[in-house]
Structures are given as C-alpha cells and as structure tokens.
Amino acid sequence: MRLSVLDQSIAVAGRPQDQSIRNTVALARHCEALGYERFWVSEHHNHPTIVGTAPEILIAAIAATTERIRIGSAGIMLPHYSPFKVAEVFRVLDALAPGRIDLGLGRAPGSDGRTAFALNPAANERPEHFPADVRDLIAWVHGEPLVDRHPFAAVQAFPQTDTAPEIWILGSSDYGAQVAAIFGLPYCYAWFFSDGAGGERAIKLYKEKYRPSARHPEPRSGLCVWALAADTMEEAQYHFTPRALSRMNRDRGILVPLDTPEVAAKALEAYDADRVARFRRDSFVGTGPEVAARIVELKERVGVDEMAVVTWTHDEEVRRASYTHLARAMGFAPSQPASQAAD
C-alpha cells in the first residue's frame, strides 16, 4: 500500500520557530529512508500553530537533500496567486527534481480573511475563478495551448522539460472533489481536518463525476489522516495530548504553539471530558500495528488508492519514531527499533 506524509511545520512551545522549518527538511530525509511514497508540505499564513508559509521553498530544500521520494505541496492556495507564476515556480522545481514533484492545489485561504487580503487584494474575487485558474495552470504546467482567445495564449511557462509536476486537487468538501473530477485530476481529501465528516461522500462524488483525462484515464484518490504510533497505547495517548488540546483550542479560535503533554493535560481539564475522550477514541493513535490496521481499514472502506498521514508531537524524536513504527507495521521499513531509524 502506498503511504505518504504531510508535514505542516508545527510551532512548539519552548522551541524557536526556525527549528520547525529545519525539522521538516530533516523529517523528509527520515521518511525517504523509511520508504514512504510522497512527502507533502502545507501552506498556512498568520497561523501561530502552523508556521510553514512557503511550501515552494521547502520543496526546493527537500529536493536538494533527497533522491527518491516524491515531494509536493498540500497545497498551494491558488486564489492567493497568479496561476502562471505558480506554473513557473513548479516547472523550476521539476527541473531540480525531475519526475518527483507534486503540485497539490487548494481553494481555501489557509488563513483568516484579513490575511487573505494581505496576500491578494482581490481575495474576494479569486475563489470564484478557481476552476478557470486550474484549467490555465494545467496548460502552463504541461506546455499545452490555453483555451481559444485566451488573453495570455502567447505566454509560456519555462523551463520546459521532458517531465512535469503531477497536479492534485486537495480539499475537505464536495467542491474540490467536483473540480478534480471535471479536470480528470487526482484528488486527496483532508480527513484529519474534519474528522472524516463528509469524506466518504466527497470521494464517492469524485468517482461518479470523474471525466477521464489523457494523463489520468482512471480516477485516483487519497485520504490524509492524523496518526501517532508508539510502543504502547498508553505512550501514544500521552504524546497525543498536545494534539487533543490544540484541536479543542482550534474550535474556540485559539491558535498557539503546541504545548508539552503535561501542560496540555492540565489545560484539557477545562474542556468537556466526554468530548475529549471521544476525540481520543476516534483518532488514529496506538501501537504501530494498531494504527496501521485502522489506516488499511479506512482505505478499503472508503475505496481510495493512497493514504497519507500527518503527525504533531511536542518532542521531535517521538514524531520521527512514530513514522518509523508505522512504516515497520506497514511492512515497507526495516524491522529495527524506532530509535535506530535512519536519518
């Protein structure tokens, strides 16, 4: 089974934020050594918890220090940018790592409304142009003609090479699923964002409305889940506590760096205990085999082709070990102690 990684460069209490960026690059090398399929990085702005603001730069840095793993964005929030400029950036990235670049696209702002305007003064207008922007981006990325009478028909995106980035549509609603289906593109649903609510419906809609394209005659879909694996369930739940607090805080509009498990456990006492317990129970947390089994079950139940995982922990070594536990349980990493996993 193909298993990939999404990393968001999480801010952690007591650690400089620049270290979060460097940890993302180091984690990509770690995951490549373990045998993961793809390593995607997200885009968020003015977000005190998630400090990965420039996925295109992170992709370039990761490309320079890896050899096999596919690298991509999850995603570029297209309404902030000119599709032509995005095409140029990703054609340069493909020149640096030929055949290894994924261009994941999203429509959401990845920020609040004011920040969206700081990024693009036309923020109110751009989301409604998303389908047309995707159409133009596909043409520029692949060196194909734009639609008839397009005002930029003579404009080409360089460099042009024998390979091109693979374009994905990412989302957590029916909208992205339908855009991906219309253009015959792969689609990945952010299961972790909504705890799966609407995910099965979106994947079903994507498959039903899929229009075959030259590059993708058949639909290709994926899910991204939040997961944490450790030696025991007790250890996994302990390190999951900061994530649980972050989720409860997010629902109240509180965005802060990830706390230690001890601080998080105390802060969680202010929240409804049943709700916290339900969130723990529904999350992909446990030993490597336990988490792997839940991932496989979800993949088969929803009927997708690929799965990806995202993991937040206060302790970076715990996070690296989690990916090792999971890779070993899935059977594509050497059977060795997590602490001995290759860098």
Per-residue DSSP letters for 127-142?
GGGHHHHHHHHHHHHH
Is CATH 3.20.20.30 what the domain over 3-228+288-340 is classified as, yes or no? yes
Q: How many residues does the chain have?
A: 343
- pLDDT value at position 338? 43
- Among the residue ranges 54-63, 119-128, 145-154, 196-205, the one predicted with the least confidence is 119-128
Q: Which residues are paired to 73 by β-bridges?
A: 41, 103
- pLDDT value at position 282? 86
Tens digit of pLDDT for each residue in 251-299? 999 999 999 999 999 999 999 999 999 999 889 999 999 999 999 999 9
Tens digit of pLDDT for each residue in 51-87? 999 999 999 999 999 999 999 999 899 999 999 999 9
Contacts with 133 (C-beta within 8 Å, 6 or more apart), sequence order:
78, 79, 83, 126
Kindly state the percentage of the chain with pLDDT values over 90: 88
Q: What is the pTM of this model?
A: 0.94
How is the chain split into domains, by residue range?
3-228+288-340
- Model confidence band, residue 110 (pLDDT cutoffs 50, 70, 90): low
Identify whether the C-beta of residue 63 lies closer than 8 Å to the C-beta of residue 96. yes
